[in-house]
Structure 1
Amino acid sequence: MSTIVEARSLNKKVDLDNNKLHILKDVNLEIEEGEFVAVMGPSGSGKSTLLYNLSGMDRITSGSVKFKGSEIASLKEEELAQIRLNNMGFIFQDINLLKNLSLIDNVMFPALVSKNADKNVINQKAKKLLEMTGIEKLAENNITQGSGGQLQRVAICRALIHEPDILFGDEPTGALDSKSTAEIMAILAEINKKGTTVMLVTHDANVAAKTERVLFIVDGNLVAQKEMSKYDPKHDDSKKREESILKWLVENGL
């Protein structure tokens, strides 16, 4: 496998009330193409900041971040925006769908921004994504006519409309019940199985149990990682995997 995201000596500092906060401290990591990775850690440990810095949504203070072998930390904002638009997808706990658009139009919207956009092609892609996630019958609904789990599926479709190389998620199941969480994770597992790299931030060991590698951050330091096999929702062993993660956390004092 090739490395899709690489960080070397990544540091992030911010000024807060005249105090310099060191949020990420000399983080080194590699994400391989096709991996499904979870980032865990206590509240305020820097896990979301790590995701934002690796994706170019936030600027690192020092160090290096490479995407598909090319340094992105020093790129101009316009260049970063193109990479995020064409090569990366993003899903978040706060779904942020547009209220004045139907669900399918929300999915299509990022692709329609392109100057060379073909609306008919994009519409067909959006329909296939809605079908893949099981909500094709809701295409013309507005965002008040869907449950949290259904709207998160729309957000996943929106993130995939450009067929990104990597999908980043910041607590994408954090506001969902256990049933919806399991459904979303099964969708993400299937997306990953088809080749898309997935990196999630989560506080939930059950969510992390459905990935193949767990990174753990404490006070801005990457302190441990656990390798696991690929998760197959058709042969659900997530309970055993979750127990394995919890045991690992205890054994490592995390």
Structure 2
Amino acid sequence: MYSPPPDPDAEQRMRAHHARAAKALDVRVEPGGEFWGWAGRTLGAPARTAAGAPAWLRLVSVPADKASGKLWDGALDAQHAFGDLDGHRPALLAVHDAFDDTTAYRAELSVRVDVPVLSDTPVLQRDLKLPDSWWADLAGTLEKVSAVGTDRVAVRQQYMDRAIPEFVGIPAPTAPATSIAHGDLHWANVTAPLRILDWEGWGQAPAGFDCATLYAYSLLRPDIAAHVRTVFPVLGSPAGLAAEATVCAQLLQTVSRGDNLALAGPLRAWSEELRRR
């Protein structure tokens, strides 16, 4: 979980719009459990519907001219495309939009997931004892996701062509296949039993992109990272090279900006492996 926005006025506006959205959607926000997203861009909290069903109310804010497109409509598009994925994705129940000067706000009311995420941050830094059934559920769910048709794009070829040479040091590999990916599969977006959260960035990506992402965020736990490779044999294969190089480049780019510094060494070692391949 991240901190509220550094600007007290922005924090106050987010709280006010969250409360207005709750009223508009006829839900009661429950005390405690408030969850801020990166840079205070999102604010979530547990709620209950008028019928008493547990729900989660998430508010996202963007500049008004960005209130469209992939990220803005991601959760709504995912609901139409996937439903609840046999219970592995919290269903979206309703949305409510509002505008305030130059900022747009979207409130998303979803079925509440009453189990904690497996990590407070995307990078896994603790031991996990996950049963084989959890890994099987994950592999099966990602297979179902990959088969959905969409024109949404999670990773653009133009980004790969630019970032992979810059941060990994190899020409961007040609992806032998593309599939549909969640697009942000890390340890703060999954629970046990399996629920996969935060679907705003899903779309087309090189085959193996989600498992490469989970692998990258597991690098501080070599045992888990090795298990990810075992469960998803596309990693380490020619078919997965484009996805691995893309994810490695993405995270090395974040390191260059001062984020994910704990991953810097393992990511550089991974990039060396990719260059050898």
Larger RCO of the pair (alpha carbons < 8 Å, separation 6+): 1
- TM-score if structure 2 supplies the norm length? 0.25
More strand by proportion, 1 or 2? 1
- The TM-score, its normalising length taken from structure 1, stands at 0.27
